Chains A and B, each alone.
Chain A
Amino acid sequence: MKLKNNLRRCRFDHSEISQEDLARAVGVTRQTILSIEKGRFVPSTLLALKLAQFFGKSVEEIFYIVEDDNEEDNRKKY
């Protein structure tokens, strides 16, 4: 399973706020926001909640789980 997110879309919906400003608002670095958006870094529960709070959405509206193709195949096998 992989954690994906709509962070970029949320930023654009939220007056196209920059990564820098969002990072400052939730107390992290711009590089961390960039990594989350690209799916390379999984944020902690606290940071996910902070992001959700900032955009006025629930965590599930921003973050969601997708099944891996390999994992799906493995499940079908068994």
Chain B
Amino acid sequence: MKTGQKVRWAIWFFFILLFAGIVVLNTSGPDAVQSVVPETNTILEIFNKIFVGSLLLLSFLLFLIVPKTGFSKKMRPTERSYNLYCIVGMICGFCGLIATLLWPHWIIKTHLMWAIVMPWVLMNFYYATIQVVQKSNEFGDEKQELNMSSAAALTMGFTIPVMVVIFLFYENNILQGSLWFPYYFFTTIFVFSAMTLHLFKNE
């Protein structure tokens, strides 16, 4: 199966998942989820805090140290790293959406959402380090940058109706609290990464 087809399948799967989530929330409501899942999990919360904190600290230290070492000469943006960046973004966004649907009361309180998004954050640190090493603000070559700009515009167009749907959920008390944020956050990451990869491979 070609990458373009895989991306199209992933986008379709995302829509099906979103639709399934809407149906589940409409039929069961947030109270049903709350009764199954405990509100907080201290162990998971502590683990996620340590996991996210240590990874961020390590990434920041590497960001400061790596440009001064010989290893930095080997670092450059390649087609493979760009593809990986998009795929990691798609996986993080997708897993985040599933986690938000399955454990809506854990996702924020236990910092699970930050743990899920960490691989994508690390990829951003990697690219930021490359930019420091190469003393440029370019993310890739001109086509990659153009594709990212187009994907960003398309993502904005896509996330507006998603936000309208989330707003309607709040209006009808289907969603409560700060759940709009992980939904918006993971949808944006998923759509942006998928669109970027799709445009890069097919345009």
Interfacial residues, chain A to chain B (CB-CB below 8 A): 27-32, 35, 40-41, 43-44, 47
The answer to whether B68 has its CB under 8 Å from any CB of chain A is no
Contacts A40-B203, A41-B203 given; does A35 touch B143 at CB 8 Å: yes
Interface pair B203/A35, CB less than 8 Å apart: yes
Would you give the shortest CB distance from A41 to chain B, in whole angstroms? 5
**Interchain residue pairs A-B with the least CB separation, the first 5:** A28-B141, A29-B79, A32-B143, A44-B142, A32-B141
Given contacts A31-B200, A35-B203, A41-B146, 12 further A-B contacts (CB under 8 A): A27-B141, A28-B141, A28-B142, A29-B78, A30-B79, A31-B79, A32-B141, A32-B142, A32-B144, A41-B143, A41-B203, A44-B142
Contacts A30-B79, A31-B79 given; does A47 touch B142 at CB 8 Å: yes
Which residues of B have CB within 8 Å of A47? Answer: 142
Interface pair B82/A29, CB less than 8 Å apart: yes
Which residues of A have CB within 8 Å of B142? Answer: 28, 32, 43-44, 47
* Interface-central residue, B78, B140, B141, by most chain A CB under 10 Å: B141
Which residues of B have CB within 8 Å of A41? Answer: 143, 146, 203
Majority SS at the chain A contact face: loop
Interface pair B201/A31, CB less than 8 Å apart: yes
**Residue interface bits B47-86, CB-to-A below 8 A is 1, else 0:** 0000000000000000000000000000000110010000
Would you give the shortest CB distance from A40 to chain B, in whole angstroms? 6
Nearest A residue to B142 via CB reads A44
Which residues of B have CB within 8 Å of A31? Answer: 79, 143, 200-201
Would you give the shortest CB distance from A21 to chain B, in whole angstroms? 13
Which residues of A have CB within 8 Å of B78? Answer: 29
Would you give the shortest CB distance from B167 to chain A, in whole angstroms? 38
Expressed in whole angstroms, the Cα–Cα distance for A27 and B78 within the complex equals 10
Would you give the shortest CB distance from A4 to chain B, in whole angstroms? 17
Nearest B residue to A28 via CB reads B141
